Amino acid sequence: MDEWEPIPISRLSHAAYCLRRAALLTNEQLWSESADTAKGRLEHKRVHTARVERRGEAILLYETDVSSIELGISGKCDCVEAHGDPLGCRAPGIDFPVRLYPVEYKHGKLREEEEYEIQLCAQAMCLEEMFHTNIPEGAIYYISSHRRLPVPLSRELRERVVETIRQVDEIRKTFRTPAAVFGPKCVRCSLRESCMPQLKSSSQDYCRRLAADAKAVIAE
């Protein structure tokens, strides 16, 4: 029997941001920290401690391990809020039924980012499989601005999660790294020096100019 090797949920966020970035992380084990990633790591430091807290009527489960055999993914939820609900599910360590509400922590200001929503939705889908429940919504909490963005876990978002998993699984199985395409997202990417997207574009432009010159000479 083959050993199950789940895709890290965090890798889905990288893939949704840039599939080449996900391939460099997956196939070439490349990583480089930038000012943004360092700041995010420090801001996450408090969150990334497994513990249980009670706040009012809610129970907060920090750094919760989640996985889905059906989807082939695993990872951690920064925080899972458990609210009492007679129609809810049963969770370990809680002696009453609860409604689960996953919260992903990010640094920076409140903003909509598809890659974060995909990561959050993947966590929710794992929780649904693990606890046989339904989770219609989660949230992304922006640490710097102390604000949260509710995220409806729609059918369309769930389909994007499944497609992103498929893309990551394909690059993992084929060891294929997509070609670099320079764009606005490259400017703040921590892997920019390893990826060298501008060099790739420059090389392609150079080759196109050589081909054009060659055709011109033949035409003469």
Q: For residues 74 and 65, what is the distance between their CA atoms, to the nearest angstrom? A: 8
Mean pLDDT of 195-215: 53
pLDDT in tens, 118-145: 999 999 999 999 999 999 999 999 988 8
- Percent of the residues in the chain that have a pLDDT greater than 90, as a whole number: 50
| Domain range enclosing 133 | 7-177
Flag whether pLDDT at 31 surpasses 70. no
- Taking each helix axis from N to C end, the angle separating 9-17 and 19-27, rounded to the nearest 10 degrees, works out to 140
Round to the nearest angstrom and report the end-to-end CA distance of the chain: 65
**Domain of residue 77, CATH code:** 3.90.320.10
Q: What local confidence, expressed as pLDDT, does residue 34 receive?
A: 44
- Asked if residue 131 and residue 93 are part of one domain, the reply reads yes
What does the pLDDT average to over 143-159? 94
Average pLDDT over residues 146-171: 96
**Distance set, CA 193 to CA 31, 56, 97, 160, 208 (Å):** 10, 47, 50, 29, 24
User: Are residues 192 and 83 part of one domain?
Assistant: no
183 and 172 assigned to the same domain: no
* One domain for residues 73 and 105: yes
pLDDT tens figures, 184-195:
777 777 776 767
Residue 204's pLDDT band, with cuts at 50, 70 and 90, is: very low
- Which pLDDT score is estimated for 188? 75
